[in-house]
């Protein structure tokens, strides 16, 4: 049984990573209680009461621990991951895995020199059953050749629950680097592309405090055969019963797919709704029972040294493109209406 430790308990995504790995058959044998958000720590202890606390150095130096999961403040994730890899441990990291091009270069160097795995969990595709099913349909040719994708990634701000670093751009790398990386990952996957051109990117500031906070962004992608558009924002209204109405539209030469990942507005109950239109019919697929293999794939890769569902090169490329789109983005500062 693979053994792992959780370090950097600064974002609630640590719950999903830990739970997914436990269900896949791994054993969590320790966590570092240092945190910028005591509420995250309390939530971890409540969910996983039998996991003992320990200092980070002790966990990293324990030869019986195979890998670590990291959900620290984003700007600290690269250094923690490198420290773990230098001590012979593989890494599963919350997104974003890095916040600067230099951090990405440092991580790439550590991977090359140590041979360790550095996986970033782009959860909006990796652990969503509907995204998995859509990818299988596209690969099977259900909608012909992919022409274009549209990804919508609205998020709820939840200001009262956010720590101070959430509003500090250097701490998270900007809105595209933070939550736009999901859209980069999705476009590459559904376009069947190893890389893409960032045609344009725009970051908007529509008045969310503090002044200058990036609450909106758009990205346009292009490969030699597929176009893509993505929109992300922090404007999910409180009336929605989930954190965001995540959508994905895939247009093909012979059909279309729409994903309603988290909610079907005023429609069917639950999550993971897929709508498929082809030459013969319009169909609805409930994808809630579609197996998600990301965590079990990672555990298998501890021995095989390669993930079945995503390559190390893909993870590096997503991080690079998200950083590029963030750096190149034009800025739109919305004027206050009288």
pLDDT digits (tens, 9 = 90+) for 247-284: 999 999 999 999 999 999 878 999 999 999 999 999 99
Tell me what pLDDT residue 338 has. 67
**Rounded to whole angstroms, how far apart are CA atoms 202 and 225?**
23
pLDDT digits (tens, 9 = 90+) for 121-152: 999 999 999 999 999 999 999 999 999 999 99
* Packing angle of the helix pair 74-86, 101-114 (nearest 10 deg): 20
pLDDT digits (tens, 9 = 90+) for 208-241: 999 999 999 999 999 999 999 999 999 999 999 9
- CATH class of the domain whose range is 128-291+325-330: alpha beta
Where are the CATH 3.30.360.10 domain residues in the chain?
128-291+325-330
Tell me what pLDDT residue 259 has. 97
- Angle CA 107–108–114, to nearest 5: 85
- DSSP class of residue 165 equals G
Tell me what pLDDT residue 337 has. 74
Question: How would you list the strands of the sheet with 330-333, edge to edge?
Answer: 282-286, 273-277, 256-260, 247-252, 146-154, 227-233, 216-222, 197-205, 330-333
CA count, 13 A, side-chain hemisphere, 260:
16
Output the average pLDDT for the chain: 97
Where are the CATH 3.40.50.720 domain residues in the chain?
3-121
SS3 content of the chain, % helix, strand, coil (to 5): 35, 25, 40
In this prediction, residue 70 has a pLDDT band, given cuts at 50, 70 and 90, of very high
Is CATH 3.40.50.720 what the domain over 3-121 is classified as, yes or no? yes
Give the number of other CB atoms < 10 A from CB of residue 237.
8
**Rounded to whole angstroms, how far apart are CA atoms 6 and 249?**
35
Q: Which of 52, 119, 33, 40 is nearest to 81 (CA)?
A: 119
């Amino acid at each position: 049984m693979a053994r792992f430790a959780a370090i950097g308990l600064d974002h609630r995504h640590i719950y999903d990573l830990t739970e997914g790995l436990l269900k896949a058959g791994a054993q969590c044998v320790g966590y570092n209680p240092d945190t910028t958000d005591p509420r995250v720590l309390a939530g971890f202890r409540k969910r996983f009461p039998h996991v003992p606390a320990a200092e980070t150095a002790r966990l990293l130096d324990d030869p019986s621990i195979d890998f670590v999961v990291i959900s620290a403040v984003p700007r600290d994730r690269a250094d923690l991951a490198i420290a773990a890899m230098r001590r012979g441990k593989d890494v599963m990291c919350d997104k974003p895995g890095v916040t600067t091009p230099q951090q990405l270069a440092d991580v790439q160097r550590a991977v090359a020199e140590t041979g360790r795995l550095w996986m970033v969990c782009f959860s909006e595709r990796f652990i969503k059953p509907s995204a998995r099913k859509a990818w299988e349909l596209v690969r099977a040719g259900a909608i012909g050749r992919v022409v274009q994708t549209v990804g919508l990634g609205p998020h709820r701000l939840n200001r009262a629950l956010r720590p101070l670093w959430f509003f500090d751009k250097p701490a998270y790398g900007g809105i595209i680097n933070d939550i736009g990386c999901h859209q980069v990952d999705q476009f590459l996957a559904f376009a069947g592309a190893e890389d893409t051109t960032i045609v344009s990117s725009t970051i908007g500031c529509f008045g969310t405090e503090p002044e200058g906070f990036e609450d909106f962004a758009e990205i346009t992608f292009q490969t030699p055969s597929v176009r893509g558009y993505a929109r992300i924002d922090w404007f999910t209204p409180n009336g929605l019963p989930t954190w965001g109405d995540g959508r994905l539209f895939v247009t093909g030469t012979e059909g279309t797919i729409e994903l309603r990942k988290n909610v079907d507005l005023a429609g069917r109950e639950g999550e993971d709704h897929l709508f498929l239109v082809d030459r013969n019919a319009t169909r609805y697929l409930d994808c809630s029972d579609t197996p998600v293999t990301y965590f079990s794939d990672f555990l298998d890769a501890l021995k095989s040294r390669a993930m079945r569902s995503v390559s190390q090169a893909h993870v590096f490329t997503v991080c690079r493109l998200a950083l590029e789109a963030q750096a190149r983005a034009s800025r739109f500062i919305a004027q206050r209406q009288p």
